[in-house]
Chains A and B, each alone.
Chain A
Amino acid sequence: MIANYGFEDGSGSYYIAIDTDHCTDCKERGCLESCQNKVFEMELNDWDDEVAIIKKDYCNQLKSICAGCKPLVDRPELLPCEKACSFRSIVHTW
């Protein structure tokens, strides 16, 4: 399942997409440690599989929370959380 966490307001859309189908095969859980603001956590989904989610309280603040990893110049090709996911299942949409 592609889970899109985030929000849209007058300034734009700010979503992080997670392909949770790969979470069950993931042993490293790199996403949990890669984020300096610890926005990721693991949760049992409706089918009792452990998958990564964005913490509920952070969903509507991603624009500002993630700003630290998104410099205007010299931005890396992959952000720390995108890089930490060995399945490349995390994608920032802005």
Chain B
Amino acid sequence: MRNKGTPILEFRSVSYRYSGTVAVDDITLTMSAGDFMAVVGPNGSGKTTLIKLALGLLKPSGGRIRLFDHEPGDFLDWHRVGYVPQVAAGIQERFPATVAEIVAHGSYSGFAPLRFWKRTKTAEVMAALEAAGVAHLSDRRIGELSVGQQQRVLVARALVGEPHLLVLDEPAAGIDAAGEEALNDLLQRLNHEQGISVLIVSHDIGAVMRQANTVACINRSLVFHGQPHELTQNELGKLYGFPVEVLLHDALHEHR
């Protein structure tokens, strides 16, 4: 991509509080064009809140955010951003939209009064579905697909607008290992071949370590921000608040 290396997303001492709880505490980080940045952290660490702040869906209680050099709240160039929300929580089973209709929404570029009368399955929509590997599902209802397929449809929806930045919130949640690998391959190709910047939230550190060139570990505050190979055991311990053995023990305890 042109301008590789220019900052596209910046957090300066950003905090977010709701009803007395601090969800995000004094986070400063920078993402540059061409980056593949992973945000990792335990459940409830503020990862999704961070994404919502970056996209202007939440207003920070303190600090400053710049998205393509604008306040996210005043940002208008949404075609530069492709957002893939968490799908596992639920698309209505009865939602009558077809896959092609959902993907066509991604090419929205403001008021167009005659859009209702135009074809939905355009070449761009089909190309995006092809890229996400779900072209064969174009006429199916979004609600009747598996979670993994819905995830890919939303990736296609994000791709159809030819974004510069792709933001994915826990895309691996609710999909099987094969689906996760296919998705990871796709993101890797988009990043390497088309220079699309990727910001991905995950709680699976292993998976994103292999792909990302930048990692932000957060547990309300920023624990680590840098290249994945610089991340130490010590910082991982700090991220989860206690040594890994204890974490494992706790996980076993919870599932008993």
Partners in one complex: no
